[in-house]
Amino acid sequence: MTIYNEIKYYSGTQPVVLSIGNFDGLHLGHQYLLQKNIDFAAKLGARAALLSFDPHPLKVIRPEELRYPLSLLEEQEIGLENMGMDEWIREPFTQKMREEKAQEFIERLVRYLPLKAVVVGADFRFGKNREGDITRLQSLASQFNFQVLTPETFLYQGQRVSSSLIRRFLLSGEIPQANAFLGRPYSVSGKVISGFRRGRTIGFPTANIKTVLAHNLQRGVYNTRAYIRGTRWKAATNIGLHPTFEESNELQVEVHLLDFSENIYGEELKIEFINFLRPEIKFKDVDSLKTQITKDVLLVRES
């Protein structure tokens, strides 16, 4: 898959079938739409391409709203490549682009891309103040000689799949539901860093990672699977602020790998979330905490 960091750098010459939007979760709805793109591109003898925006437009339009991605760019790249997408254009979203009218946006697309077709959802909006809709897109497509394909809305369990819905599942601890709508287990990754080292002193050593993706999760303890050096391990993972001790100012991701004792500082650790065990609790003393962690680990071991 070829990646372009701006539309103006596009150098391909084959016809392009383009999908436009932010596909940070690559959830079932995204997969459905992009598969339609891939199939239509094959039918037309064209390249299957995605245009997304970095940062997410809401960070520019409504910066006061905290919004965390469901996956990182590196993970999105792997997912798109595995699906069979040919090209990914990552367009910077700026204040200037925010002011770009619908027709100006399409004019810029056809200036730089050999555009054959656009494949987007029926609720697709574009241009300044979201002035452009599907009717406007179809009008511009006639003017600039490309096709528009709008697949029917994808439903799973009777609901429209969306990143916002998946975030709500994650924050409410409904991990199996979130995983079902994602089409894979929700995961976070990062290099193992030094933590407070309290887990070792109470018999439950942890590997600690830092990732913004943890902010999508409810604080508490999870049944997880950890991947290190190509091997999978059962693990109990805590997302929290250490309320039993002096509360941390920064969200901590602490992973206790069952039956594992190797030094993995500086190595890449991936955590897949299976289900939520309990919310974060402030215990009256360390012994109460140890008793509860023992129960948590037993639940993970038996899963």
**What does the pLDDT read at residue 57?**
83
Residue 291 has pLDDT above 80, yes or no: yes
100 is annotated as an active-site residue: no
Q: Identify the CATH number of the domain defined by range 185-302.
A: 2.40.30.30
pLDDT at res. 245: 56
Under the banding of pLDDT at 50, 70 and 90, the label for residue 1 is very high
> What is the share, in percent, of the chain residues with pLDDT greater than 70?
94
The residues, any chain, with a CB within 8 Å of residue 137's CB and separated by 6 or more, are 106, 118, 120, 124, 126, 148
List pLDDT tens digits, range 48-67: 999 999 888 888 888 777 78
Residue 42 above 70 pLDDT? yes
Which whole number is the average pLDDT over 77-95? 95
238 beta partners: 221, 254
Q: What is the mean pLDDT of residues 95-123?
A: 95
> Which of the pair, 186 or 129, is modelled with greater confidence?
186
Domain ranges of the chain: 2-160, 185-302
Average of per-residue pLDDT values in the chain: 92
For 7-24, what is the mean pLDDT?
A: 94
Considering only residues 245 and 25, tell me which one the structure prediction assigns the higher pLDDT.
25
Higher pLDDT, 208 or 197: 208
Residue 194 clears pLDDT 60, i.e. is over it: yes
The CA-atom distances, in angstroms, between 164 and each of 15, 69, 70, 182, 184 are: 33, 10, 10, 12, 16
Q: Per-residue pLDDT averaged across 126-132, rounded?
A: 91
Give the pLDDT confidence of 244-283 residue by residue, as tens digits.
Answer: 556 566 889 999 999 998 999 999 999 999 999 999 988 8
pLDDT at residue number 20: 97
Catalytic residue among 74, 254, 268, 272: 254
Sign of the CA dihedral 235, 241, 244, 246?
positive
Please give the pLDDT value at position 201: 58
Residue percentage of the chain with pLDDT more than 90: 77
Whole-model pTM: value is 0.90
CATH for 2-160? 3.40.50.620
Among candidate residues 207, 180, 212, the one with its CA nearest the CA of residue 195: 207
Between 237 and 202, the more confident residue is: 237
Mean of pLDDT values over 145-171: 95
